[in-house]
């Protein structure tokens, strides 16, 4: 069943993590709630390891060409299901490999590259054309793609790291979390004393990766108190267990430099992060400060979309912050025949949500190309998914 229903079972089985996972995997809590993540992991590992993943069978061939912008989990899923439905499909991928953040972000201790490679190989085996190193907006315009293909799915993710907006943020030794994590399994250079700014799972992944890459001291600095952090409690525990320090309730105020590179960060006490309505609205106690020294600062405070190329297609709307406006149900954009989903619509989230968007989009693309009227896009709060 898992083979029929899930596009990338090994990936989904491994990448889902939940607070119950740790205790359940260790079998400590016999009478406690059943861990869905651990179950998914067990079924996926058992099933996937047994035999080759079957290549989807294209039973009917249909007229129409589908273009997919971005070969991350969302784009790959849309491509696979559109191919299964009988269409000719081309993925435009700016990098030299498929997988998106699963290959260029999620660290190997969470998702082994061989699991991704094995499942990603399905794309080419299914007869989907992939144009690697082809960035829409740089190498080919979105207008050209829309003029050449009958339907377009945009799943280009949130590839840019959000910035603190402080002076010296471009100094040598200051890195973005996404940039630092980079291609899974690649060796990375890191200083002896690393400061990671951010309170989400990406910050924790960056801190653990820095530790595994040889940093002697790694500290996470975040605005939130420990119990408010976006990172899962078990992830924070895991980092603590690996010797990562935590300075919770502090905000970077100044990036300190000397001799042409970063030397540390001056922090100010953060009194509260959210206002009475739960909106992000940090308040500081300006008189309480602290200086910490470090030779590498990794900024992992969120991700932003790179959607400048959308301007090439008049009528295709973005929401505040540059996310693509699309209807969560369909996921149709404001332009007929153009669909969008995954992180570029909803903001940084979970792989399984991006996969679900891709699957939904393939069904709607099939309707659209078969002559079913495409439903109009509803207003959507782009980029509002809970961040990582």
Ligand X SMILES: Cc1cc2nc3c(=O)[nH]c(=O)nc-3n(C[C@H](O)[C@H](O)[C@H](O)COP(=O)(O)OP(=O)(O)OC[C@H]3O[C@@H](n4cnc5c(N)ncnc54)[C@H](O)[C@@H]3O)c2cc1C
Residues contributing to the site for ligand X (CB under 6 A): 15, 17, 69-75, 92-95, 100-102, 105-106, 110, 135-137, 155-157, 159, 178, 181, 201-202, 205, 306, 309, 342-344, 349-352, 354, 388
The 3-class secondary structure across 106-124, one letter per residue, is CCCCCCCHHHHHHHHHHHH
Give the closest residue to 341 by CA, choosing from 319, 351, 363, 326.
Answer: 326
**Minimum distance, C-beta of residue 25 to ligand X, in the bound complex (Å):** 15
Give the closest residue to 88 by CA, choosing from 64, 55, 116.
Answer: 64
State the DSSP code for 8. Answer: S
**Minimum distance, C-beta of residue 106 to ligand X, in the bound complex (Å):** 4
Nearer of residues 155 and 249 to ligand X, judged by Cβ: 155
Nearer of residues 99 and 173 to ligand X, judged by Cβ: 99
Nearer of residues 7 and 264 to ligand X, judged by Cβ: 7
Nearer of residues 73 and 294 to ligand X, judged by Cβ: 73
Nearer of residues 110 and 234 to ligand X, judged by Cβ: 110
**Minimum distance, C-beta of residue 79 to ligand X, in the bound complex (Å):** 11
* Beta-strand runs (E) in the chain: 65-69, 88-92, 129-131, 151-154, 160-161, 174-176, 193-197, 217-222, 245-248, 250-258, 261-274, 280-293, 296-299, 303-304, 338-340
CB 103 within 8 A of CB 97: yes
Nearer of residues 343 and 366 to ligand X, judged by Cβ: 343
Nearer of residues 102 and 377 to ligand X, judged by Cβ: 102
Q: How many Å is the maximal CA-CA distance in the chain? A: 69
CA gap 155, 362 in Å, rounded: 12
Phi-psi category of residue 100: left, alpha or beta, with phi > 0 → left and psi -120 to 50 → alpha: left
Q: How far lies 175's CA from each of 163, 216, 273, in Å?
A: 10, 18, 24
CB 341 within 8 A of CB 331: yes
């Amino acid at each position: 069943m898992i083979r029929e229903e899930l596009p990338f079972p090994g990936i989904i089985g491994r990448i889902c993590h939940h607070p119950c996972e740790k205790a359940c995997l260790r079998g400590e809590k016999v009478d406690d709630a059943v861990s869905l993540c651990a179950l998914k992991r067990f079924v996926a590992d058992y099933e996937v390891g047994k035999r080759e993943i079957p290549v989807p069978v294209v039973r009917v061939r249909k007229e129409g060409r589908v273009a997919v912008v971005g070969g991350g989990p969302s784009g790959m899923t849309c491509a696979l299901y559109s191919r299964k439905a009988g269409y000719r499909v081309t993925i435009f991928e700016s990098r030299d490999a498929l997988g998106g953040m699963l290959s260029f972000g999620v660290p190997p201790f969470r998702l082994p590259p061989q699991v991704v490679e094995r499942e990603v190989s399905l794309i080419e085996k299914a007869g989907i054309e992939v144009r690697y190193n082809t960035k829409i907006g740089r190498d080919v315009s979105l207008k050209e793609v829309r003029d050449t293909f009958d339907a377009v799915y945009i799943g280009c993710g949130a590839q840019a790291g959000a910035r603190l907006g402080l002076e010296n943020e471009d100094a040598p030794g200051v890195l973005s979390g996404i940039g630092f994590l980079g291609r899974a399994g690649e060796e990375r250079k890191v200083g002896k004393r690393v400061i990671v700014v951010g309170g989400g799972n990406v910050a924790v992944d960056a801190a653990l990766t820095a530790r595994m890459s040889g940093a002697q001291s790694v500290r996470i600095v975040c605005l939130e108190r420990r119990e408010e952090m976006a990172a899962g409690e078990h992830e924070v525990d895991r980092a603590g267990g690996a010797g990562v320090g935590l300075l919770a309730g502090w905000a970077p105020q100044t990036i300190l430099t000397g001799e042409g590179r970063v030397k540390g960060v001056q922090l100010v006490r953060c009194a509260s992060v959210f206002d009475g309505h739960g909106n992000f609205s940090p308040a500081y106690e300006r008189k309480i400060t602290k200086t910490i020294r470090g030779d590498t600062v990794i900024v992992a405070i969120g991700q932003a979309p790179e959607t400048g190329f959308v301007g090439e297609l008049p009528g295709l709307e973005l929401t505040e912050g540059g996310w693509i406006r699309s209807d969560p149900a369909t996921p149709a954009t404001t332009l007929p025949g153009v669909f969008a989903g995954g992180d570029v619509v909803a903001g940084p989230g979970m792989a399984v949500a991006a996969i679900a968007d891709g699957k939904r989009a393939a069904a709607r693309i099939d309707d659209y190309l078969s002559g079913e009227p495409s439903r109009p896009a509803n207003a959507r709060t782009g980029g509002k998914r809970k961040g990582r």
